[in-house]
Copies of this chain bind each other. A is one copy, B any other.
Amino acid sequence: MTAASIHPTALVDDQAIIGSNVAIGPYTIVHKNVSLGDNTVIGSHCELGCPASDAAHGGMLSIGKNSLIRSHSVFYEGSTFDQNLTTGHRVTVREQTRAGKNFQIGTLGDIQGHCRIGDFVRFHSNVHVGQKSSIGNFVWIFPYVVLTNDPHPPSEVRMGVVVEDFVAIATMSVILPGATIGRGALVAAHSSVARDVAPDVVVAGSPAKFVCNTDAIKMKDGSNASAYPWRRHFHRGYPPDQVLQWINEFTH
């Protein structure tokens, strides 16, 4: 086991579970209900393991191995992240979040907790995920998108949004309570989605309406190939075996 590298100004509770070869930056606070997997790096000025507002929703904050949490981020206790979590700066993640492997959260992301997130999900900057949201695998969400949950605010009713595999939600769109975005669909920028969206279609506007099938959108790189499904051409950051599977999917 390689010793952890904890900056002398970091405040790490003796009961926190710190894996092998972990690094913790200056002025970062790690509370007791925290477990950091091997080789994980925590930036400066973070606070990990903040107490949940309701003790029943507390418990361990578990960060998988090989993760990177950038500076000024805040994670509450009672959430679990599989390996290879990567965050930007100033991320806030509340209790009872469950996320799969290789989750990326951009700078200023705000995850309200009580939600489920699959594998290889990527949020760009400033994504807001309301409670009870359910997000599949290989989903992309772009800046200033909000997933809502209250159909007549304020109320105690929570109708979480469902985002299926391979969906892309473009900049500054709102998904209204209870809507399901079907597998591989694209929500265009600055849209407001009030109803379910079928798989592999593009919707746009406020309220969002059907525009075309996703495969009608052509690449603007001169190739004129279909831009969707995006896994046909976009492979950066995915593991080689996954990319190989996608290449085979579109060449046979």
Query: Residues on A close to B: CB < 8 A?
Result: 9, 11, 26-27, 29, 43-45, 47, 50, 71-72, 74, 88-90, 92, 107-108, 110, 112, 122, 125-126, 128, 140, 142-144, 146, 148, 151-157, 159, 168, 170-172, 174, 176, 189-190, 192, 205-206, 217, 219-221, 227-228, 230, 233-234, 236
* Whole-angstrom CA separation of A144 from B128 in the bound complex: 9
Residues of A contacting B: mostly? loop
Chain B residues within 8 Å of A228, by CB:
152
User: Which 4 pairs of residues, A with B, have the shortest CB-CB distance?
Assistant: A152-B227, A190-B192, A151-B220, A174-B190
Chain B residues within 8 Å of A156, by CB:
221, 233-234, 236
Question: Do the beta carbons of A74 and B74 come within 8 Å of each other?
Answer: no
Question: Do the beta carbons of B128 and A128 come within 8 Å of each other?
Answer: no
Instruction: Write the chain B residue with the least CB distance to A11.
Output: B26
Question: Do the beta carbons of A159 and B189 come within 8 Å of each other?
Answer: no
* Whole-angstrom CA separation of A76 from B113 in the bound complex: 30
Question: Do the beta carbons of A74 and B89 come within 8 Å of each other?
Answer: yes
Chain B residues within 8 Å of A122, by CB:
154
* Whole-angstrom CA separation of A122 from B174 in the bound complex: 20
Question: Do the beta carbons of A110 and B107 come within 8 Å of each other?
Answer: yes
* Whole-angstrom CA separation of A46 from B236 in the bound complex: 31
Within the complex, the shortest CB–CB distance from A63 to chain B, in Å, comes to 18
**CB < 8 Å: which of B29, B112, B219 contacts A155?**
B219
Q: Known contacts A125-B110, A128-B125, A144-B144: does B176 contact A154 (CB below 8 Å)? A: no
Question: Do the beta carbons of B44 and A71 come within 8 Å of each other?
Answer: no
Chain B residues within 8 Å of A144, by CB:
128, 144, 146, 172
**CB < 8 Å: which of B107, B148, B230 contacts A92?**
B107
Question: Do the beta carbons of B89 and A152 come within 8 Å of each other?
Answer: no
Question: Do the beta carbons of B219 and A157 come within 8 Å of each other?
Answer: yes
Chain B residues within 8 Å of A155, by CB:
219, 221, 227, 230, 233-234
Question: Do the beta carbons of A142 and B152 come within 8 Å of each other?
Answer: no
* Whole-angstrom CA separation of A228 from B155 in the bound complex: 10
Within the complex, the shortest CB–CB distance from A197 to chain B, in Å, comes to 16
* Whole-angstrom CA separation of A159 from B227 in the bound complex: 15
Chain B residues within 8 Å of A189, by CB:
148, 174, 176, 192
